[in-house]
Every structure is written in structure tokens, then in C-alpha cells.
Amino acid sequence: MGRPIARVEGRLKVTGAARYTADLPQDDGKDLVHAVAVCAAVAKGRITSIDARQARAAGGVLELITHHNAPRLRPVPAQEVLGPAHETLLVLQDDRVHYSGQPVAVVVADTLENATHAASLVRVEYAEERPVATLFEGIDDAFDSPRYAPPTTIGDVDRGLADAAVVIDRTYTTPAQHHHPMETMATTVRWTADEVTVHVSTQTISMVRDGLATTFGLRPEQVRVVSEFLGGGFGGKAAWCWPSVVTAMAARLTGRQVRLVTTRRQMFAATGQRPHSVQRVRLGARRDGVLTAIAQDCVGETSAFYDTPPFYIGAATPVPYGCPNIRTTQRFVKVNCQTPVPMRSPVEGVGLVSVESAMDELAAELGVDPLELRRRNYAERDPNSGLPWSSNGLLECYERGARRFGWPERNPEPRSMRDGRYLVGWGMATAIRHAGSDPTSALVRLGADGRAVVQIGSQDLGTGTFTIMTQVAADALGVPVEMMRAELGDTDLPTGGGSFGSHTAASVAAAARLAGEALRAKVIRIAVADEGSPLSGASPDDVLVDDGYLFVRGDRSRGERYAQILRRNRLQSATGDHTPPPREGATVARWAFGADFTEVKVDPELGTVRVTRHVKAIEAGRIINPRTARSQVIGGVVMGIGQALTEATEVDRRDARITNAGFWGYHVPVNADVPDIEAIFVERDDPHIPGSVKGLGEIATIGTAPAILNAVFHATGKRVRDLPITPDKLL
């Protein structure tokens, strides 16, 4: 624990030996056939006809699936399946079209080329209806959803605003944004009488298993889901979405092993998106900057066909600052789009863009340093629940981040700092993220050769789960890292949770540690009861382990290795496991904290913005591996740069079709856009969290976008309240 070891799977990845879902040769490829989806060219309406004659006559075609012959799916209420099920309950079930890109047919052929060609020959006619293209078109019909968007009310906000010496009342908009991991969605399914085996690029193998079992009327134990390597996932692979469902349909109908890989364009309709939002924020404060009221009223989009709206983007608003009067609300608009899904912090990553921008506007209005304003409003307890923090290093994040960045040298006047012809701006923001975990089981097995394996049915998004599982289990068992191996990504392994919500590290670390400790205790009991062991008769509490060598405290000569104990007792192996106990009610508020400091340079003639350096300080409990943790922070900040400056899903308001469905139009940051990024870890022992491990995945990106917005204002004197910050908004 705490060592910056290299990724244990790193060599496999950089040499190409790691096989991703679309790479896997299934049974030498002899039985493998390919599926290609035909997607709707309209956003709302009915299918009036499907002419598939040419497609069926094309070479190599085995099956063509439409709503006429698709297997009937069980209409499952969303609450029966963990996570956002969205359109999987509707796909190829009727003639309705709910969004552009919805699959309306699937062609199965012997080769990918034949399937692609045949799909291009399918002719679909529609009775088109006028869609709701964006939330602005449907905002008059916005509705409340108390179940999934519970309003927060603390104190009396109206009174707090009335009593304030200064009130900031601003409206901010954030665009829809889409997930773009390097690996697109890929699924391979074999359907036999005994078992359905699914290889899929997913962040949650257990959710895919349960979702497919439920919709196809199977028992969960009849479905095995495997996802060993994942080429990135930011929430879009956290749901069991239509590529997996239609591939399973094809495998069932053909009796063959079927693979479907979405195109980059289809990713815009396969994995959901970060929802478009409009957020009105009102802050009331005394002249000294102490907040008297916070009000955040949000409107977000959901799909036209899904009865359960997504997440509540104002849920974290009450957390960062100690304010006696807080109110948040959210309404939803049904839009002809795919159902929004989490995208690397669906709550704080969107809701705090407006709050942290408004805090900067309040600081400017009061003439108070933005960092000092946040310090004055530090919350001693969680304002929402009233519970004490499990740990909170936010003030130290402020102090260490500011010192490293050089914040005290900032000239507070907008447009006052220059580098030649460029305007220089410095901005900062607070970052918070709920520190959760999922019930996770684990098994650690020790062989007679002294080598061990840790098994958890989790998955590695590419963020280092293989490595931290190996480290933690090796530490708990007391063996060298080189003698421990991790296995994950298979529902046949002990049950793990999904890799989303910044839960993975905390979940797998706790389970791996407890299973490793159980195994160590078991072998120690065997040794002290073995008359042939040098440890015979010792108290188990006095037996220590170092690099696989067990010895008595104070007498290292009295000891032996794990392998010797197992061989002498004729044991081929020994195992230790962990099954999570029932959850108990919360007695503390568990959050990770951080502070972002960023520098931008703006060309005053062209309006272009470049982030030139970024410092992020994070308190996330204890860091298991500083190397993989730093990598998480770099990736998160890069994603935040995209959120602030380049990324937006553009929709044609006439027909609700996405106009930039590809990397040629949807711009993510590239190397030239990324500055020097420095990560500072403010470590804390947190007795309320197993292993003191809080997640890093999402807090790594939270705070970056509002810090950039605030830096752009400092550089230019222009306040942009509509993301992303494109040159036209500054000229």
C-alpha cells in the first residue's frame, strides 16, 4: 500500500497482448458471425415500412431482425435492475421511434463486411412527427420527479436572500456531452441451452448479467458476463444498453456466436449522454462574504420514453459551504434524445459548474479574493445531513494547492496580467465528491508454491484496478507483489459492484484486504497448531508476516514460509474470503475534497483560450498507488478541459438530429490542448472508511471546468455562463 508500482497489466497493454472485447478470437472464429445495426434517420415517429429484400438477398446474410420478428422482452420497471436501464426495454419491440439513431433493424452475416453492406441496403420509411429537440423547446412542460430529484430545503432561503447585503442571481447553461472512450461498445454473445455467455465492454458485468437475465426471462446464473480489459468508460458503459441486447437477440435467433461493434457515430446513440441543463443560482452574503443563502434551481433533460428521469444535478450543492439557508430544485423536460446516463460525475461535475462560477462572481462583487471567500464559508459539518465529516482535508487542499500554484501573486483585477500579447487569467474552484462504495465479495487463494491470486467480479476501466487489487491483497497476505495475481471481469468470480460513482477502489480494496487477512489468519492458525512448525505453540497474535515469511515477533529466526506450511500439511492450496455484511445507517458524512487552480492564456484578437498549467489538490483518504492516482488526476483534468472549452453535442432544432456525430465535429482535447498538470494528495486516515480509501475517478475532473471559467473571466473581464467557452463568446 502506498508504493507507486507500475501497472501489473501494463506490459500486456503496451505490447498489444491485452485482448479487448472486439479482439477476442471466439473458438478460433469458426462459429463467429457479425451483426450491424440499422439506426433511425428520424427522431420521432412511426416506422411505416421496412424493405429488406435487397439486404436479405445480399451475400452471407443469415438473419435480419426488426420489430416484427425480434424476441419479446420483459417490460421491467427500472427499479428492478440496478442502474439506468433506459431504452433496452423498448428496442425492436414496436414501430415507435423515440430518438435519432435508435436501432430499427439488425443484420447478421458471416463477415463484418457482408453485414455492413447488407445493412446499407435496408430501406426504412417513417411517418415522421415533430420532435422536441432540446430542453428549450419543451421547457414549458417541465415536470418534477420527487423520487429521483428530491428537493433540498435547509432553513429559510427567501429570508436569507432578503437579509443579504449582496445577492448574486445568475443563470448558467451546460450542453449535452457524449462519452468517447477509445474503445467503442463491443459485444459478443453465445446463446446455448445451458448458458448465455456474453463478452462485452462494460463498466458493470453484474448489471449486464442481471439486466439481460431479467429482460430475456432467464435466471441470473444462466448468464455469464466477461469483460477483462476495457478501453475506457466514463459512465456510458455503466448501463446495459441496446448493443448488448440486440446482440443477444441475434445470438438467440441464429444459434451462432454473434459480435456487434458500434461505430463511432453510433456511440452517440448507444451509450447515452451528459444531459443539457439550465441552472439558476442565487447567492446571498453579508459584506464580509459569509453566505446567508444558496438557491439552485435546475432544469435538465430526460428522454421522451423513459418514465424515470436521471440523476439530480443539484444534489451536492448543500455540501461544500456552511450556509444556514439552502434550497435546491430540479425539473425535467422530455426530449427526443437517448436517456441521459452518468458521465464522470453526473451530479457534482455539472451542478457545481454553476455554483463555483457564482461564488467567483460573488467574490468579484465583494472585492474579496475567491480563495478567501471559500475559506470564510468552510463547513464544519455536512450542511445537508448535519453529520460530522468522516474526514475533511479541504482547507489543507486550499493551502497546499494555492502555495504550489503561486496564488498569492495573483493580481485581482481582470485583464491586468499579460504574457506578451496574451491575456493571462488565474482561476480556482472547490471540488467535492461523495465517497461511496459497493458491497463487494473477494476470494484470495494461496498455492503450495507460495503464489497467490485475488479474485473479485469487478472490472478495470483502465484506471488501475488490476494493480490496486494486487497491491492490497499482497499487503494483507504479506507476500511480495510479484507473487500475487489479480483476476476480475467475470461474473463467475465473487460478486463485485460496478465501476462507476468513484466506488471501485474503495470497494475492491476493502474486500481484497479482508479476504487476504482472513487467509493469513487461517494459515497462521494451521502453523501454530502444527508440531512440526517453528511457529508451533506461538500465539497467533504474535506471528508476523514479511515477504511470505512467517515469524514470531521478536525472534525472526523462528519462522518459515507459506509454501513450507502448506506442503508439510499436504495442502495444495488455502483460501480466504470476504462476504460483505449488511449495511448500517450513516453516522458520518463521507466525501472526498479538492481544490483546482488553473492558468489560461487568451488571444484577445482571436478569442482562443489555452490552459497553460493546472494544479489540483485532493483529499481522498489514503492513496493506494501514487502512480495510478496521478494518472487518474491527469485524465480527469483533461476531461474537465474538454468540458470547459471544446465539448458540446450539437443538435439541429428542426429534426433533433445530432449534427457533429464524430470526432470531426465533436472536439475532445488532444495533446496540444493539455498543459502541465500537477497532482497534490492531501492524505488522511479515515477511521470510518475501510482502508481510508476514497474514490478518485470523478473528483479528478470535478472543479476543473469552473476553475477555467473563472480564469477566463480574470483574463478577459468577460463572464461566460454558457459552456463550452468558444471564441465567439469572447469576441
How far, in Å, CA of 363 to CA of 360, rounded? 5
- The catalytic position among 87, 183, 356, 698 is 698
Q: Are strands 549-552 and 555-561 parallel, antiparallel or unpaired?
A: antiparallel
Question: Side chain identity at 9, as an amino acid letter?
Answer: E
Burial of residue 687 (number of CB atoms within 10 Å: 0-12, 13-18, 19+) = exposed
Q: List the alpha helices (DSSP H) in 169-229.
A: 205-215
**CA dist 525 to 528, 530, 587, Å?**
5, 9, 35
Instruction: Look at the block and give the residue holding cell 431482425.
Output: 65
How far, in Å, CA of 222 to CA of 240, rounded? 17
Determine which helix (DSSP H) or strand (DSSP E) holds 254, and give its type and residue range.
helix 242-254
DSSP string for 399-423? HHHHHHHTGGG---STT-EEETTEE
Which residues fall within 8 angstroms of residue 114, CB to CB, at 6 or more apart?
34, 58, 59, 60, 61
Instruction: Look at the block and give the residue holding cell 498455492.
Output: 447
Please, which residues bridge with residue 453 across strands? 445, 485
Specify whether 361 is catalytic. no
Please, which residues bridge with residue 284 across strands? 167, 293
Q: In this structure, is the dihedral angle defined by the CA atoms of residues 630, 635, 638 and 640, taken in order, positive or negative?
A: negative
How far, in Å, CA of 375 to CA of 394, rounded? 9
219 is written with which cell numbers? 435466471
CA-wise closest residue to 171 among 411, 373, 358, 44? 358
How far, in Å, CA of 122 to CA of 647, rounded? 33
Burial of residue 61 (number of CB atoms within 10 Å: 0-12, 13-18, 19+) = buried
Q: Catalytic residue positions? A: 698
